[in-house]
Amino acid sequence: MVGIVKEKKSGSAEEIVEPRYLVVMGVSGTGKTTLAQGLAKRLGWPFQEGDALHPEANVAKMAAGHPLNDEDRAPWLRLCHEWLQKQVQCGKGAILTCSALKRHYRALLSEGLPVEFLYLCPDEKVVEDRLLHRVGHYMPPSLLPSQYATLEEPGDDEPVIRISSLQGPEILLENVVESLRNVRHPAVV
């Protein structure tokens, strides 16, 4: 079958995971990058850190403790969509991290593409604790409440897999790979 990726799971037979176009989403501090990097390594799919696509003005605004608005996010979301579009054209699967906080952000990201969302949604106190101990990221913990205020949780009509992300990274990765094998991917919308 064209486009099938065989991946080795340590200590077991080969698994088959069809190419998927995943956006690992959630508020800052949920573990998006850790999961996305693990998936990319495990499945051999390209990975793009969505934060790296932010215009410099967005990074400066967040670093100064100011939340982004829809106008700030629009060019960033376009860049994220363009990256996904290029990956779909290549046909090998791909993983992008992006907060994708609002329904219309997710609609922009997936417009005309078979994109699925992995929604990391641990307890707010867990996320707050992670942010307080995170080093080297421009987003200060003081912006977490604004992210939760902006968040529109994905609806049942959206192509989403919900993940509590309370497990350790390795267990979480195993559970997500298992879900990807068992959950049918969406058609192009």
pLDDT in tens, 127-169: 666 666 666 555 666 677 788 888 899 999 999 988 876 677 8
| Interval 78-103: pLDDT, tens | 999 999 999 999 999 999 999 999 99
d(CA 74, CA 80): 10
d(CA 147, CA 143): 7
Assess contact for 160 and 116: CB atoms under 8 A: yes
Q: Report the DSSP beta bridge partners of residue 188.
A: none
Instruction: Please write down the long-range contacts of 142-149, taking CB distance under 8 Å and 24 or more positions apart.
Output: 142/65, 143/28, 143/62, 143/65, 143/67, 144/27, 144/28, 144/29, 146/67, 147/27, 147/28, 147/67, 147/99, 147/101, 148/27, 148/124
Task: Provide the whole-model pTM.
Answer: 0.82
Mean model confidence pLDDT for the chain: 82
At 64 the pLDDT is 87
